[in-house]
Amino acid sequence: FNNFKIYPRIQKLTERDYFRYYKVNLKRPCPFWPDDSQCSIKDCQVEPCPEYSQASNTRSDIEECEHAHELGAINSTLSNQSKEAFEDWARHDDAQDHFCELDDETSPDAQYVDLLLNPERYTGYKGPSAWRVWNSIYEENCFKPRSVYRPLNPLAPSRGEGFYNWLEGLCLEKRVFYRLISGLHTSINIHLCAQYLMDEGWGKTVWGPNVREFRHRFDPAETKGEGTRRLKNLYFLYLIELRALYKVAPYFERSIVDLYTGSAQEDATTKDLLLQIFNEIKAFPMHFDEKSMFAGHKMEAKTLKEEFRLHFKNISRIMDCVGCNKCRLWGKLQTQGLGTALKILFSEKEIKNLPENSPSKGFQLTRQEVVALMNAFGRLSTSIKELHNFRTLLSDQR
């Protein structure tokens, strides 16, 4: 279903102007520990490429620009035409009804980034600094007591033998939360294994799948069975985000919702592509059923939902501690995408009551949320496609 029906369409969609530009603040300081950004890694700092006009925007210009600022650096090349368009988009978006917190995008430090010029791949960002980020996410935000350790955690004093007994004893919602974070971690690791820096000689950088790295992270023999759990959590996360897209389809099917970039023809094509994806999703039989989530006692459910929201907000703040800007960009985007999916799943009533031809006061998605939602799902879709490629490579090796 993913590799033949969803993946080709979502790739096409995320190349459209509406979905390829993401506004992000990469300058927010880490609120939890002193900054140890890995600027020692080749070009991890952000340096805008020289301005270029549309006329000179040839393939070789972009390649040269990419090569000059590869690995961890953010390539912030934008044409003047794009910049003018963003001002027009902002005027259009400000006229919409906003009923949710606008975080990064309202900051003066926020900048538009072209996601196609900044693909998610291996940057050399690893070791204690990266471990500390993931460790904080799991330790502080997965409802976990300090006495319980995750298996194979390089920063823990024990091997985490009692971890799954503890996890099974939690209520459904807290187990779901852990599996979502683990699924996101898995997906990011698959992207890094699939787009690994293979060779960097003679002025040419070669990226490709690294089977050894993949086995190291996911082979049951090398991970004491953890790899299989990690991959299951990826599929679980995929089904949750798929369910959110199924639920939010009526929001986008209304004629008042346009994916505005200033060109009516382009916008209509983009919307048509998006609706095609929704139609494929509607035909898929194996949806996650979220009705059992937050279905208990009203007050407990409300408290739990609020805890969920706060834990999630905290995780997006931890992303400001990622020391490599390209990793920070994709970490923030995928966290916001998952947060938007959860917001949708918890807003079923509001989505059902949407007016056809006027803005909704009960449920609204910002441009940022829409871009993050579809790109984050695009990353999960890519992970599942890459898994198929790794299976083929592994069977060839045998």
Alpha-carbon dihedral sign for residues 238, 380, 330, 104? negative
- Residues listed for the chain: 398
Alpha-carbon dihedral sign for residues 58, 63, 69, 73? positive
Q: Which of 30, 44, 49, 327 is catalytic?
A: 327
Structure tokens at 172: 């459904």
Task: Give the N- to C-terminal CA distance of the chain in Å, as an integer.
Answer: 27
- Cα 149 from Cα 144, distance rounded (Å): 9
CA dihedral 368, 374, 375, 377 (to 10 degrees): 140
185 marked among binding-site residues:
yes
Partners of residue 112 on adjacent β-strands:
23
182 marked among binding-site residues:
yes
217 marked among binding-site residues:
yes
With CA atoms as reference, report the closest residue to 242 among 378, 352, 120: 378
Q: Which of 49, 142, 193, 324 is catalytic?
A: 324
123 marked among binding-site residues:
yes
- Cα 318 from Cα 126, distance rounded (Å): 16
Cα angle: 365, vertex 369, 374; to 5 degrees: 115
Structure tokens at 295: 């279905």
324 in active site: yes
- Residue 367: Cβ within 10 Å count: 20
- Cα 85 from Cα 200, distance rounded (Å): 36
Which residues line the annotated binding site for FAD?
121, 123, 134, 182, 185, 217
> Catalytic positions, please?
324, 327
